[in-house]
Structure 1
């Protein structure tokens, strides 16, 4: 079973704390001595006990080791500051170059629009004219290409619509043939003369005369 690391905390018992301090201090001093001998390293170790007592180990001279540490820290800080200053200067120069390029682009844009041409020499004006002509040639070529694509698209749509129109015409013709009336059916559907006369008599009986006369006729009948 894997056990997690025990969280270190302060030893509450004073006696146990003092014993642990003595053991760990001696072990630390021993490791510092071994490191200086085995690796030929300059080692300086300073330990203050809880009561303020000093314990130290130095492979050469503690004062010289501390002075060397101070010099190294100061030099490192100076190098860091110098590096930061150089980086800042590089950023400023880069920003200045970018601003210069932006100004040149803006000036070139203005010349293409026909502005600020007074300061241009004859060769510059000729170069500008050639560039504009090349640009116009490319623009016209692209415009013609777009026109051609649109024409092809419209022709394709026209062909599809013609095909659909032909299909609809065929369907309409078939529908008309199926529902076309025959002469016999037309004759059967046309009312005869006898039927028309009967309808006329009924209409006359229904609408001619006063209500009383119509009532008498109904009784006689």
Structure 2
């Protein structure tokens, strides 16, 4: 007998929700570990449980570097496709990026 397909929706019972989070969280953590080990990928995983507890995984403990690279990459992508001739928009976007980088440095230290 195969597994039943589950409808993806919020679990109302807090106890059941915590149990499901625990099981699925372990599965996604295992997948993140496998990705970084088998393929040498830079992986950063941040999960907050229903109770607010933080679970994190990073390959070689480089969370801030991975987050900075992700924010920078997305920003460059957006800048490339939006308002290339608008200097004020570019200036504000770069100022926002600098602010985010400073916050990440504070979090790291």
Q: CA deviation at 1:37?
A: 1.0
Q: Which runs of 4+ in 1 moved over 3 A?
A: none
In the alignment, which residue of structure 2 is the partner of 1:19? 19
Asked if structure 1 preserves the Cα contact closer than 8 Å seen for 2:17 and 2:50, the reply is no
Question: Residue 58 of structure 1 corresponds to which residue in structure 2?
Answer: 58
Shift of 1:67: 0.7
CA RMSD of aligned residues (A): 2.0
Q: CA deviation at 1:12?
A: 2.2
- The equivalences for 1:108-187 within 5 A come to none
Point out the structure with max Rg over C-alpha. Answer: 1
CA distance in 1, matches of 2:26, 2:49: 12
Cα distance, 1:58–1:74 mapped onto 2, change above 3 Å: same
Unpaired runs of at least 5, structure 1: 86-221
User: Matched residues in 1 for 2:46 and 2:78: separation?
Assistant: 23
Total equivalences in the alignment: 81
Instruction: Summarize deviations over 1:97-150 as a string: whole Å, max 9, x none.
Output: xxxxxxxxxxxxxxxxxxxxxxxxxxxxxxxxxxxxxxxxxxxxxxxxxxxxxx
TM-score, normalized by length of structure 2?
0.65
The structure, 1 or 2, with the larger RCO (C-alpha pairs under 8 Å, 6+ apart) is: 2
Q: Which residue of 2 aligns with 1:81?
A: 82
**What residue ranges of structure 2 are gaps of 5+ in the alignment?**
86-109
> Is this contact kept in 1: 2:42–2:59, CA < 8 A?
yes
Counterpart position of 1:111 = none
Q: 2:8, 2:79 → 1: CA distance?
A: 38
